[in-house]
Every structure is written in C-alpha cells, then in structure tokens.
Amino acid sequence: MTSTPFSNLHSRIMLSQGRSNQFRSALPKTPRSLVRTTQRPVLKPKRRFVINKIILNNFKSYFGQTEIGPFHKSFSAIVGPNGSGKSNIIDALLFVFGFRANKMRQAKLSELIHSSRGHENLDACSVDVCFEEILDLPGSDNYEVLPQSQLVISRQAFRNNASKYFINGRQSNYTEVTSLLKERGIDLDHKRFLILQGEVELISQMKPKAPNEHEDGLLEYIEDIIGTSKYKIPLEEANEKVETLNEERSEKLNRVKIVEKQKRSLEAKKKEAEDYLRDENTLSLKKSSLYQRKLLECKINIETSTKAMNKLKDQLREENEKHVQIKQDNKYLEDKYRDSVNAFQKLDKETNESLTELANYEQEDIDLEERKKHAISKQKKVTMAISTNLHGLSEAKSAMLFNEQDLNDRMEEMASLERSLEAQESDLDKIRESLRVKSEVYSNQIEEKQRELAHLSEKIIAKQSLICVKQSEFNILKEKVDSIKQDHKKAEEYAFTLRESCRKKNQIKDTKLEIQQLESDLKHYLAQKEHLKSSLADSRQQEDEAKKFFESSQSRGIVLSSLIELKDNDRIKGLYDRLGNLGVIDDKYDVAITTACPALDNIVVDSVEVGQTCIDYLRSNDIGRATFITLDELPTMDMRPIKTPENVPRLFDLVKPRENIFIPAFYSVLGNTLVAQDLTRASRIAFGEPRWRVVTLVGQVLEKSGAMSGGGHLKSKSAMSSRIITSETIAKLEKDRVHLETQWHRFQQNLGSLEAQLQYKKEEIPKLEFDILKLETDAAAYSQCSRKRASELRRLNDPSIDDTKNMARLKLQIDHLTQELDGLKRQPSKIEEEIKILQMKILEIGKDKLRVQKSKIDHVKDQLVLINERITKSQVAKSRADKDITKFENSLAKSERELEGLNNEIEKLTKEIQHNAQVSRSIRIKADEAKSILENKKEELDEIKEKLDEKTEIINRNRVIELKIKNQLEDCERNLAENKQKETHWRKSIAKLTLHEIGGDEEQEFQIYTDDELDTMNMNTLQAEIDGLKEKIQNANPNISVLEEYHIREKEYLSRANDLEEITSKRDECKEEYDRLRKQRLEEFMRGFTLISQKLKEMYQMITPGGNAELEFYDSFDPFSEGIIFSVMPPRKSWKNISNLSGGEKTISSLALVFALHHFKPTPIYVMDEIDAALDFRNVSIVANYIKERTQDAQFIVISLRDKLFESSDRLVGIYKTDDQ
C-alpha cells in the first residue's frame, strides 16, 4: 500500500515513492467560483504542535514500512478509493495514543499485525507518529521548526498481544506517553481531537440525559467537556453523608426523649433520699459541736501540762548551768581529742600512702633499668648490623662499577673484532673466488663425499636412538624389579608408623578425657562448696539470731523485767507478757506488722485491776511507764475471715497466737488492716470503695483518711518473731550447725585431694601437648605417604616371569644393535680421510695465501668466543651486584630506622629513670618527716585522753541528778502527749465529718465555735441529740443509690442532648458543603454551557444561513434533572428537535455542535474521518471553508472522498493498494 501527498495550491501534484505502482492521475480542480475564500488577517508568529508524518510498519493493511505524509501545518486531506486503508491511519493514531484493540475494530492487538498472501506470520507491527513544534509564519506554507522540538512516539505490538511504547527511541510506558500528549494539549480523555466515521450522527441520536450510568446523554456529553462532571462523585458522597447524618440525628433525638422520661420517673425516690441525707448532715453538725467541746478540754489539759513542764525545765536548766564550764571543757577536750584522732589517722594514712608510692616507684625503676639494658643490647646488635651492611654495600657498589667498566671494554673489543672478522671473511671470499675455477673439480668431489657422510650420519643417529629406546626400556624394567623389594620394605615401615600414631592418639585422647572428668568433678565439688558453705553460714546465723533473740527475750527492758519478776514471785497474777511475744508471724511480714502495729509493745493482763496494780508498782518505784491491754475489757468483735479486695491477706489472719485467749488482743490492735505487695497495689485498695487501712511489705502505711506514713531507709522490725524460741530450739540449731561443720571439714579434705590430682594432671599437659603435636605431624606425613603409595602397594608383587623374559630379550637386542652401530661408525672415517685429501688439494692450489687467511678468521672467531664468555660473566656479576646493593640498602634503611627508635627509647627511658629517682627522693624525705610527726601526735593524743577521762567522771555524777528531774519531766510529757493524741483524734474525727451536697438546697458548712460558746454547751445534751438522730437514721430505709442513678440519668440526658446538638451541627455543615458543591457545579456548567450554546448558534448560522440552533434545558430550574434539548431551525423551516431532522440536517447540526465544542476547548490537532459523507454539495463547501478558517490555529487532517472538501486542503495524501498490500 502506498501513500502519495498532493498539493492543489498551484495546480501541481506532489508524488511520494510507492512500492510498485504510483498514483499519477491528478484530481480535477474545483472552480474558484465555488470556493469561498477569506482574507486571513496578518498575525504574529505563533508556536504550534503538529504531526509531521506517520510511519507504519506491517500495520493492518500496510506491509513493510510505509510513510504517510508529510502533513501540511494547517490542512491536509487523505484521499483514496474505498477499502484502500484510509481509516487505518486513524487506527494507527489510536494505537499509538494507547487505545485498546476494540477501539481499532479488532478483538486483540495481535490482529493489528499485517497478514496478506505470502506474509501470514509476521512477528510484530509498529507505528511511529512524528510530532514537531513549529513557529507559524505568515503564508500558507511558511513556518519554522523549533530546534530540538521533534518528538517521535512509537508503539510496537507482538503476536503474544503485548506491546511496548517508545519516546524518541527510548522505551517508555502508557502513563508517560499519555501524560506527555496531554501536556501538549491533545485531549485523550474526551477524544475531541478525533471525529470518527459515523460519530457525528451519534451526537444527533443522544438522549437529553443518559437513562443509566453506562450510557451517555447530551447532558453528560457536554458536562464532561465543560469539566463539571468532576463534581458528581463529591456531590453523591456529600448527599450520602447528609442522609447518614439525618438518620443518626433521628436516632439520637429518640434517645434523648427516652432518657428524659426515665429521669422524670425517679423524682419521688430522689426526694426521699435527699431527706435522709439532710438528717445525716444534721448529725454531722451535732458531732462537730461535741468534738469541739472535747477539744477544749484537751486544750486546757495541754496548757496545764505545759506549765508543769516549763517549771521542771527551769530546774533542769539551773542544774545544768552549775556544770556548764565543766561540760564546755569536756566538749572542748572531746572535740580536740576527736580532731587529734582524725589528724593522727589522716597522717597515718598519708604515711602509708607515701611508703606505698615509694615502693611503686622503686619497682618501676627496676623495670625501667631492665628495659634500658635490653634496648642497649639491641642497639649494639643493630649498630653491628649497620656496619656489616655498609661494608657489603660498599663492596657491591665497587663490584658494580668494575663490572660495568669491564662490560663496556669487552663490548668495544667485541665490536672491533666483529668488524675485523667481517673484513677477513671478505678477503677469504675474494681469495676463494679467484681460485674457484681451479678448485671446482675438488669441491664437487668434496660435496659428493659430504653427502655420503651425511647419509651415514643419519643411519648412525637412527641406530643410536633405537639403542637408547631399548636401553630405556631395559632400565625401566630393571628399576621396577629392583625397587619392588624396597617398596615392600617402605610399606611395612609406613604401616608400623601409622599403627604407632593411632596408638599414641588414643593414649592422648584418653588422657584428655581423664582431665575433662577431673575438671567436671572439680566443678561439681565447687558448686557443692558454695551451697555447703552457704548452708553452714545460714546455720550459724540462725543459731546466733536465736540465741540473741532468746537472750533479749530473757533480758527484757527494765519495765517488763520488773513486772515479770513480780509475776515469777507470785506477787502479781493475771500478767502474761508483751503482746509481740505472745504470737509469731512469718519473717516476710515482720516489717509490715512492726510498722503498722506499735501496740505490740503493750503488756497483756487479765483485768483492769491487774493493770492498775502494775501501774501503781511502776509509779511507786519510779521505774517507768507502760501501756496495758486488759482481756476482760475487750469488746466482743467479729473476727471471722472477710473478703478482701484482690484477695490480699489480712494482717490479723497471718498471726499465730501462743494461746487462743490472746486472739482478741491481737484483733484489737490490728483490726482489718490489710497487707499488700507494693505501694501501687496498696493505694488502689486503700482508696477504693470502701476504704481500707493497708500496709506494704516494706512498712508503708496508708490510713483510711488518706494519710500515709512509714517507709524510708530505716525500717522498724523484729517486734514479732517468725517462731517461738526456746532452749530446745537453740539446742537443735546447735546440733544442726555441728553436723554441717563436720560435713564441711570432710568436704574440704575431698576437695583438696581432687585439686591435687587435677594439678598433677595439669602439670603433665605441656609434655602431652608436645607429644600430641609431634604425633599429629608424623601421623599427617604417614597418612599422606600412605595415600600416595596405596595404589602402588596394591600392585606390588614379586617380579613377574614376563618382566624377566623381556629384560633378557632387550639385552640381546641392545648387544646386536651395538655391533651394527660399531660397523657404521667405522665407515665415515674412510670418507673423512678422502675429504681431507681433497681439501688439502684445494689448499695446495691456493697455497699459503688461503691457509693464512683462514687461520686469521679462526683466530678472530676464537677471540670472539672468549669475549662473549667474558661479557656473560660480567653481566651476571653486575646483576648479582645490583641485587646485593638493593638488599643491603633495604637492610641498612631498616636497621637505621630500628636504631633511631632504640635511641629514642633509650633516651626516653633515661629521662624516666632520672625523673623517678628525683620523685623517689622527695617521697622518701616526705615519708621520714611524716613518721616523726606521727610519733609526736601519738604522745599528744595520749595526754588529751587522760584529761578527758577526768572531766567525764565529774559529768557522770551530775547526770544522776539530772535523770531524776527528767523522769518527772517525762511524766508531764506523757500526759501532754496523751492529750495531744486525743486532740489529734478529735481533730481527725472533725476532719472526717462530711456534709452531703443536696441539689437545690443551700450549701451548708461546719461552724467553728469560740471557747465561751463551747463552755455553755452540755456534752450530755449533745450526746442525747446525736443518739436520737442515729436512731432515726437507722430506722429510715431510703434508696440512696437512686441519687446516683438520677445523677447518671441527668448526666446521660445532658450528654445525649449535647450529642444531638453536635450531630445537628455536623448535618448542617455537610448540607452547606453539599449546597456549595451544587452551586459551584451549576455556576461552572452554566458559564461553559452559555459559551457553547452561543458558539453553536454562530456555527449553525454560519454553516446554514437563515437557520438557527440552540441548546436548552428540559427543566430550567434544575439543568441536571432532565437533561439538555438540542433544538434546530433549518432555513425556511420551524424549530425541531435534532432527532426529527433529516440525515444531512442532523450531520450539519452535530458538526455545528462539534465545532462549537472545539471553540470552547481547542486542541492543536484535529483528525476527521469522512465527516462530509451525509452532506450535500453545498454543505460540503461550507464545512470545507469553515475548516479552512480554523486551520489558522490548529492542524486538520481530514479523510474525505468529497472533492469540495479535499480540494480546499493545503496538501493531499493519496492512499491506494498494490498487490493487496
């Protein structure tokens, strides 16, 4: 198939080369009267993007490579008979622009490959579209191609339906190609650059609006081009969101109504609960008044005790003032003694440090001296090596110079002899030439004899070679036979060595295993050692602790001891012991119970009378004070197990009392105190609902009120023991300790024996390792030899009979050949004698002249041989001297570097030795001085100690008087502390009082009364009022939880009302966004629609004078609801819908819309396929003139068979087939 470009501008035809035939007939010209032309305005040069040509290779109907073009910058028409392949050019463009095969009227890409008779199985097809950017100049054919603006986009399809894209020969992809074309203005999304055959009629068949989403109506067609179709999905999403939010709002509104109804149903119960809380508030106010009255009593007692304490303190101060000077002197002496002791210790420490430092420096001096001696020794060796290298280097350089000079002399002498030889040989040739005629007969005879001699020499050499071969075979067999016995002997030696090596290896392996076993046993013993040692230490510690605890329990404090003594003397009955001694608890909880229960030091008695007797005894004897627990006064308490938060233990349940009668006493001081693992867990339990008193394992106590105490680095412990210690317990612990000590001594003996055995084995390890290395080396050598000789040893046998026969046969052959050789060697001597006679005859012809000249040449050759040998020797000597120079220079450089390093090291060591000597002298002087001062300090310290002891004795006598006053002061302090404790108790009780907040009531607060107001209050009256309120509260049965439920419902109501407000706000925001998108879509669409409708009217009026066309909406209020109507009024006809027009009128109307859309969004290139097929003669001319006008700003490529259209083009491209190709 061939394409041919034409131009009708000057009635001439441009032809392109076809493959076989050429299209040589010109199309008839259109009369100028029928072509309406328009004078084009002169415009400034404009840059445009155009298609220059299209190259097809085996694409559809185009076989081989076919070039379509070049296309005109403005208007090109493609013409040709039906079926010639014009529309395949459109398919080629679609192929390159990335469209699927079905858009090119094929089912798959492989069907695009050319297939014709003789070309059925082509592998691929390709299309190249050549673009370029031009500068449009005035004139129909004038333009400039912008430099480097050429762009070739190619696509190649293969038989496997795969394809490749290329940009300027570089492989690319679909995305890059389409993006590049879109950047240049070619609309691949809507294909506005392309109007295919029959596509114009499709516009006239479009409905106002698409019936479903899979079809296109006129509304969708125009909106897609305007660009407002991008709002469809956002509008749908916004509308869907509004609907969703409306549903959510309805749901939340219903929930608000439900909660409001539930809230109203709780009003009555809420009022009853609030009345109950008001009574509790009144009770709290009454309690506050009572507690404040009791606080006033505590305050009065505290003032009384404070006055008494002040009086006793004055007495104590007067007593202390009498001995102030003595105390001051004593304090002075104590301070001085302490300072002297510190100074003495400091000086003693400094002296020891100086002596240690001096010893370190002396040791360092010894090390430095040894290093210096070693460096000096190495320095001497390196110096001798440098001297030796210098001497060797000097001799090598002398030899180098001598051999270089000798070599030069010999070379000159050799050159002279070679020139002399050349001259002598020239003279010899001249002499021979002068005698050639006379000696020619003899020379021929000599040559004949020499040929005979050469033939005999060849026979002799052949015979000698055969003898050598036979002799070699004989020698091989002889060596084989001779070496068989030797190989047997070596094989036996190898086998013995291997056996010995294996035995040694096994012996070494056993030794190593024995050492490993000993080490394993030792490791096991060492592990037992730590365990046994730890057990023994634990046993000793347990015994010591038990003894100390038993002794401490026996030697109680003075108060408890005196009371127990009364009990033992039967002076007091009903006295038991300190509470902590009446029970035991696990050591794990020792710190916890000691911290949480200070009352463990209280003394347990039967009754109040026994307790009072004890108090009177202590007071009368001025022994001290104590707190008692009376068993008969303890109230009845519910001590049954309780359910605790997180199942933590109750401290009371962990105590094991000595007797059951003491259980109430422990419960009275411990109560329901819980014990937790750590503070985090304790806080979670203590402040939960209800609140608990909790103590941690490390002694941190959390009260119900929220106060926390205990903890820190110093922890209280040992208030209770983990077991009851008796003399029997101590005896058992002592027996266990003795048993463990016996085991320990026996274990140490066994361990010592094992360590001795292991040490003995380890001392043998160096020798064994040396033996192992030697044996492994021998074994490796034996193993290698055995592998090399294995195959030979397998073949080793006694000498075979064949070998013996072969040796005898070869011996006979060698003797026979030797005899033949001797006969041959005798024959050349006769011929040689004849040659010598002939040579003598030739010499006699030349007489002395030839003989002398030959003698001269032989002499020169002998001299040349000697000189060559001398030159070789000189070269070898020179090479050896050169290597020696390099070797000595390298060695010398290395030695000099080493010498320099040693010199630096010696200098550095010398300086360090001198420095250490100076430092050592100064330290020695300092140490001697410190010793002297230390002796003086010791004497001074003894003197101060003597004076201090005298002052201390005086002070001790004064302390006896002070102690009596202090005991009285302690009684006042105890009374003061008790009242302060009560004051703290009542204050805490007041602090615990709370008032309920009742919605709607005025907020109440606790009143703080003055002392005068409190004096007027009667505590009995307050107590009676409190009891009455308690009874009323106990009889009431309100549902307090209804308040919480009411509060929850009220909170839920407010929350859901807030949610309703939020969802309403979100719904309104989404609706505003939906309305905004609708408005924006409508405004943008109306702007584009107005422009397109106006341009449609202009296009139609231009194409059909007297006619009119317009686009209008079915629903003017909502353009997108019913779609767009395309109404047309042909000339001299009424308004009609486009679907009611004739075929030509539909085409004209659709073209007018297409051209209007081109005006709305122009592209640089337009390709049209037979858009004039349904037009009459006149309309074709109108369309052609319009296209002609539009080519000012774009490139049109039109496929047409109507002469009125293609004659208006600037260039014709003819398409035709040859041989169905």
* Look-up of token digits 């002169």: 42
User: Closest Cα to residue 935, out of 333, 339, 351?
Assistant: 351
Instruction: Give percent above pLDDT 90 in the chain.
Output: 2
Strand partners, 675: 695
Band of pLDDT at residue 492, cut at 50, 70 and 90: low
> Distance of CA 251 to CAs 263, 589, 730, 1064, Å?
19, 58, 80, 12
Helix, strand, or coil here: 217?
Answer: coil
675-717 pLDDT per residue, tens? 998 888 888 888 777 888 898 888 888 887 666 676 554 455 5
Q: Is the pLDDT of residue 22 over 50?
A: no
Query: Would you tell me how many other CB atoms lie within 10 Å of the CB of residue 822?
Result: 10
1150-1169 average pLDDT score: 81
Q: Which of 462-466, 511-515, 760-764, 1072-1076 has the lowest mean pLDDT?
A: 760-764
72 phi, psi to nearest 5 deg: -75, 155
Quick: pLDDT tens for 582-591: 888 887 888 8
Q: Identify which has the larger pLDDT, 570 or 10.
A: 570
Mean pLDDT of 338-362: 75
> Contact, 36 vs 1185, CB < 8 A?
yes
Confidence of residue 636 (pLDDT cuts 50, 70, 90): confident
Tens of pLDDT, residues 223-254: 877 878 788 888 888 888 888 888 888 888 88
For residue 148, what are its two tokens?
Answer: 């480097």
Strand pairing class (1124-1129; 1136-1137): antiparallel
In angstroms, the CA 866 to CA 413 distance is 11
Lowest mean pLDDT among 350-364, 1122-1136, 1154-1168: 350-364
Q: Does the structure show a pLDDT above 90 at 130?
A: yes
Q: Could you please report the per-residue DSSP string of 399-444?
A: HHHHHHHHHHHHHHHHHHHHHHHHHHHHHHHHHHHHHHHHHHHHHH
C-alpha distances (whole Å) from 119 to each of 56, 526, 1040, 1205 are: 16, 95, 101, 36
Tell me what pLDDT residue 957 has: 66
**Per the structure block, which two tokens stand in for 404?**
């270089």
Of 1018, 1056, 883, nearest to 397 (Cα)?
A: 883
Least confident segment among 409-413, 421-425, 849-853: 849-853
Alpha carbon separation from 546 to 532, 542, 550, 715, 1102 (Å, rounded): 21, 6, 6, 21, 125
Q: What secondary structure letter does DSSP report for 639?
A: -
- Tens of pLDDT along 529-565? 777 777 777 777 666 666 655 554 544 467 777 888 7
What is residue 781's predicted lDDT score, i.e. its pLDDT?
Answer: 47
Look up residue 12 and give its DSSP letter: B
DSSP type of residue 395: H
Question: Per-residue pLDDT averaged across 1160-1165, rounded?
Answer: 80
Locate 857 and state its tokens.
Answer: 């040449």
Contact present, 537 and 737 (Cβ < 8 Å): no
Q: Interior CA angle at 296 toward 290 and 298, to 5°?
A: 110
Distance (Å, rounded) from C-alpha 781 to C-alpha 658? 85
Give the pLDDT score at 721.
53
Confidence check: pLDDT of 28 > 50: no
pLDDT bucket at 37, cuts 50 / 70 / 90: very low
Ramachandran region of residue 161, left (φ > 0), alpha (ψ -120 to 50) or beta?
left
**Mean pLDDT of the region 1046-1074:** 86
Cβ pair 70, 52 in contact under 8 A: yes
Highest-scoring range by mean pLDDT, 128-132, 221-225, 629-633, 677-681: 128-132
CA 1174 to chain centre: 72
Given a cut of 80, whether residue 305 has pLDDT beyond it is yes
Q: What pLDDT sits at residue 380? A: 85
CA distance 1218 to 1: 5
Q: Does an H or E element contain 517, and which?
A: helix 324-554
Higher per-residue pLDDT: 6 or 747 = 747
DSSP 27: P
**Residue 488: predicted pLDDT:** 63
**Helix, coil or strand: residue 166:** strand
Neighbour-count burial of 874, counting CB atoms closer than 10 A to its CB (0-12 exposed, 13-18 middle, 19+ buried) = buried
Task: Name the pairing type of β-strands 674-676 and 694-696.
Answer: parallel
Taking CA atoms, 173 is separated from 97, 178, 431, 921, in Å, by: 11, 9, 93, 90
How many residues belong to the chain? 1221
Q: CA-CA distance, 861 to 853, in Å (whole number)? A: 13
Q: What are phi and psi of 914, to 5 degrees?
A: -65, -45
Task: Decide which of 755 and 788 is more confident.
Answer: 755
Question: Among 334-338, 837-841, 955-959, 1033-1037, whose mean pLDDT is lowest?
Answer: 955-959
Token code pair at residue 964:
């009596």
Q: Which residue has the higher pLDDT, 849 or 423?
A: 423
3-state secondary structure 1108-1144: EEEEEECCCCCHHHHCEEEEEECCCCCCEEHHHCCHH
Rounded-to-integer distance, Cα 678 and Cα 133, Å: 83
Q: What pLDDT sits at residue 128?
A: 94
Q: Which pLDDT score is estimated for 17?
A: 31
pLDDT at 719: 55
The CA-based angle 125-128-132, given to 5 degrees, is: 175
Closest by Cα among 1201, 1132, 1017, 1159 to 287: 1017
Lowest mean pLDDT among 143-157, 172-186, 832-846: 832-846
Query: Which range among 247-251, 734-738, 863-867 has the greatest average pLDDT?
Result: 247-251
Least confident segment among 771-780, 844-853, 1068-1077: 771-780
Note the pLDDT of residue 449: 74
Instruction: Name the amino acid, one letter, at 891.
Output: S
Which residue has better confidence, 670 or 278? 670
* Structure confidence at residue 1136 (pLDDT): 85
Place of tokens 């002889």: 478
What residues are paired with 56 via a beta bridge? 66, 127
What pLDDT is stored for residue 125 in this prediction? 94
Q: Is the pLDDT of residue 18 over 50?
A: no
Whether the full predicted model's pTM is greater than 0.95, yes or no, is: no
* Tokens coding 3: 């394409």
For residue 262 the two structure tokens come to: 């539930």
Instruction: Work out the pLDDT band at 197, boundaries 50, 70, 90.
Output: low
Q: What 3-state class would DSSP assign to 186?
A: coil
Tell which residue, 655, 635, 662, 543, has the closest CA to residue 594. Answer: 655
3-state SS assignment for residue 185:
coil
Q: What is the mean pLDDT of residues 572-601?
A: 84
Residue 904 has pLDDT above 80, yes or no: yes
At residue 40 the predicted structure's pLDDT band, cuts being 50, 70 and 90, is very low
Query: Percent helix, strand, coil in the chain (nearest 5)?
Result: 70, 10, 20
Contacts with 638 (C-beta within 8 Å, 6 or more apart), sequence order: none
Cβ atoms of residues 157 and 124 within 8 Å: yes
Phi, psi of 471 (to 5 degrees): -65, -40
Which band of pLDDT confidence, cut at 50, 70 and 90, is reported for residue 140? confident
- C-alpha to C-alpha distance for 503 and 495, rounded to whole angstroms: 12
82-96, 655-669, 796-810, 967-981: least confidently modelled range: 796-810
Q: What is the pLDDT of residues 156-191, one digit of tens each?
A: 999 888 899 999 889 988 888 888 888 887 777 666
Sign for the CA dihedral angle at 406, 408, 414, 416 comes to negative
Both structure tokens of 47? 């840059």
Instruction: Indicate if the pLDDT at residue 82 is higher than 90.
Output: no
Report the mean per-residue pLDDT for the chain: 77
Residues whose CB falls within 8 Å of the CB of residue 578, separated by 6 or more in sequence, listed in order: 556, 560, 600, 601, 602, 603, 604
Residues 911-954 have pLDDT tens digits of 888 888 888 788 778 777 777 777 777 777 777 777 777 776 67
Which residues lie closer than 8 Å to 129 by C-beta, 6 or more apart?
Answer: 51, 54, 92, 93, 96, 152, 153, 154
- Does 793 score more than 50 pLDDT? no
Q: Which residue in 503, 504, 490, 505 sits closest to 786, CA to CA?
A: 490
d(CA 702, CA 682): 8
* Cα separations in angstroms, 830 against 211, 446, 448, 823, 834: 131, 13, 14, 12, 6
What does the radius of gyration of the chain's CA atoms come to, in whole angstroms?
A: 65
Walk me through the domains of the chain, giving residue ranges and CATH numbers: 1-193+1199-1221 (3.40.50.300), 194-265+1040-1162 (3.40.50), 545-631+640-708+717-727 (no CATH)
Separation between Cα atoms, residue 16 and residue 584, nearest integer Å: 122
Report, as an integer, the average pLDDT of 282-294. 84
> 50: exposed, middle or buried (C-beta count within 10 Å: 0-12, 13-18, 19+)?
buried
- The maximal CA–CA distance of the chain, rounded, in angstroms, is 185
Residues 436-462: tens digit of each pLDDT: 666 667 677 777 777 777 777 777 777
CA 455 – CA 739 distance, rounded (Å): 117
In contact, 374 and 909? CB cutoff 8 Å: no
Is 1221:118 a contact under the CB 8 Å cutoff?
Answer: no
Task: Give the contacts of 675 (CB within 8 A, at least 6 positions apart).
Answer: 589, 592, 596, 648, 649, 650, 651, 654, 694, 695, 696, 697
Residue 117 to residue 1220: CA distance in whole angstroms: 8
